[in-house]
Amino acid sequence: MIIFKIAFRSIFRQKRRSILTALSMFGGFFLSAFFIGFSDGSYNQIINMFTRNNLGHIQIHESTYLDKPSLYKTIRDYEDIYKKLQSIKEVDAFTPRIYSAGIVSVGEKSTGVKITGVDPKRENIATNFNKKIYEGDVFSDENSYEVIIGKGLAKILKASPGDDLVVISQGADGSIANDSFKIVGLSKSGNELEDRITMYIPIKVAQELLTLQGRIHEIAITIKKLNTVPEITELINEKIGSDKIIAEPWQAFAKSFYNAMQADVEGMWVMLVIIMFVVAVGVLNTVLMSVLERRREYGVLKAMGTKPGDIIKLILVEINILAVICIALGSIAALGINYYLSIHGITLAEPFSYGGMYFRHMTSEINLRSFVIPAVIVILSATVVGFFPALKAAKTDPAKAMRTH
């Protein structure tokens, strides 16, 4: 207890030195807490937009479909899977899809496309498909021979709503699949690469065109909380109970995007290491100077019989008291700025592209780890770097210290 009393007195007696030490720790904690919160918020925003608005958080396929997609690798009796998904309260929405490749033409213009059959109602709920239509309209009926094409594809074909579009593909029975559709809308998903090659038709029409009656290729699922994806994926697989049909998380079916995100996360940790290194150097400098200035004090303590270990404890307690105060003040400041940015965000002067999508607005996030990680790092770094000056103080020669000061 006496060590804490002396430590408190020393902190407030050496105000200038204490303030310099505290500023280093406060700055390091605040920057780290802000950086982690803003990074997590930005990453989760990017992931959510990439998955919720396009691919879904979880997808169900035939077990080998992702390894080598094929027209013939389909899911039968998918309505039974619907019932199982509806029994999971964490599932927000789900939608079936059919995929195939084909050639389309409008007038004299033609190009290759990815044909995507969608359930209009379910797709609107799961991925806000209707909000991606920037010109024209949505499908008038789930059985209509209408098509919505991407903005980039419309430019290639020089097409607009109202034009007729001819599709040529291959049916699952080996026949030539071809038909004429009316373009009713142009979509803009945010992914320019996808918008150059994708066309959407109602899923029932796609099943008839490709002779896939009663079959689909995929069920895309969105859930309420992004961080529960692994648990919900495992639960869905338990519900399905089949080795031939499996559910997989976005990390599996969007590997390149996931790897890019992981690389960015690693970059965040490098930045944190740099911030903490600066903090450690600042603390080491100020504590070392404090030890040198107080050599007479330590000499007196040793002359009175204070053990070297107690002097080390005294200095480390001083540092950690300052660290706790700085963490408390830094938490208030970081909470305020992260809360503000979680609501208002930052509008970027120039948008940036990630995974083919463009982002203009970034938001922060308030989470536990953005405070715990900086707090642990500040205390550990302050303790470690403070140990060496403390060790130097513990070795002070009482007679020499009192003669020279």
Q: What is the pLDDT of residues 99-135, one digit of tens each?
A: 999 999 998 899 999 999 999 999 999 988 888 898 9
Cβ atoms of 100 and 71 within 8 Å: the answer is yes
Q: Where are the domains of the chain?
A: 2-51+258-404, 70-216
Q: How far apart are CA 377 and CA 382, in angstroms?
A: 8
Residue 26: pLDDT band (50, 70, 90) is: confident
- Nearest partner of 115 among 189, 255, 185, 209, judged by Cα: 209
Q: According to the per-residue pLDDT averaged within each range, which of 71-80, 259-268, 295-304, 357-366 is highest?
A: 71-80
Cβ atoms of 14 and 312 within 8 Å: the answer is no
pLDDT of residue 405 exceeding 60: no
Tally the C-alpha atoms within 13 A of residue 259's C-alpha that lie toward its C-beta: 5
pLDDT value at residue 358: 63
Q: What is the pLDDT of residues 222-277, one digit of tens each?
A: 998 888 999 999 999 999 988 899 999 988 888 877 887 777 777 777 877 787 77
Q: How far apart are CA 390 and CA 306, in angstroms?
A: 14
Burial track 322-335 (b if 16+ CB lie within 10 A, e otherwise): bbeebbeebbeebb
pLDDT of residue 171 exceeding 60: yes
* More confident position, 365 or 394: 365
Token duo for residue 219: 């069920």
Of the listed ranges 105-109, 155-159, 237-241, 278-282, the least confidently predicted one is 278-282
Residue 328: pLDDT band (50, 70, 90) is: very high
Q: In whole numbers, what is the pLDDT of the chain averaged over residues?
A: 84
Q: What is the pLDDT of residues 76-101, one digit of tens each?
A: 989 899 999 999 999 999 999 999 99
pLDDT value at residue 8: 61
- Nearest partner of 345 among 28, 29, 57, 46, judged by Cα: 46
Residue 51: pLDDT band (50, 70, 90) is: confident
pLDDT of residue 164 exceeding 60: yes
pLDDT value at residue 11: 65
3-state helix, strand, coil in the chain (%, to 5): 55, 25, 20
Of the listed ranges 40-49, 135-144, 246-255, 322-331, the least confidently predicted one is 40-49
pLDDT value at residue 183: 95
Phi, psi torsion values for 345, nearest 5 degrees: 65, -170
pLDDT above 90: percentage of residues in the chain: 37
Cβ atoms of 161 and 135 within 8 Å: the answer is yes
| Whole-structure pTM value | 0.74
Phi, psi torsion values for 151, nearest 5 degrees: -60, -45
Segment 378-388 shows an average pLDDT of 79
Segment 196-218 shows an average pLDDT of 93
pLDDT value at residue 300: 67
pLDDT of residue 308 exceeding 90: no
Q: Mind giving me the DSSP string for 224-291?
A: S-GGGHHHHHHHHHHHH--SSEEEEEHHHHTHHHHHHHHHHHHHHHHHHHHHHHHHHHHHHHHHHHHH
